[in-house]
Homo-oligomer: A and B are copies of this chain.
Amino acid sequence: MPYVNIKITREGGTTPQQKAKLIKGVSELLLEVLNKPLNATFIVIDEVELEDWGVGGLPVEEYRKQAGEKS
């Protein structure tokens, strides 16, 4: 019965294969740890535009620029 929502920034490269890996990995983790059946587990992935994600009081791109590294 679990419902899992994964929010990630849209960085122009997250492939359907990577999303499938996330879906598989999270579902199997819930099966392994809490014995939740795979077919009763919903996973929803949201890709969020960079301008819509803030951290450090800044839009993430600006935050990364100031932090001088791709976090």
Chain A residues within CB distance 8 Å of chain B: 1-9, 14, 16, 18-31, 33-34, 36-48, 51-60, 62-63, 71
A31 cross-chain contacts in B, Cβ below 8 A = 57
Q: Are B27 and A29 in contact (CB under 8 A)?
A: no
Q: How many copies of this chain does one complex carry? A: 6
B20 lies within 8 A of A29 (CB): no
A33 CB to nearest chain B CB (Å): 5
Question: Nearest B residue to A4 by beta-carbon distance?
Answer: B6
Collect the chain B residues with CB atoms within 8 Å of residue A29's CB. Answer: 21-22, 25-26, 29
Expressed in whole angstroms, the Cα–Cα distance for A56 and B28 within the complex equals 9
A39-B55 in contact given A7-B3, A33-B21 (Cβ < 8 Å): yes
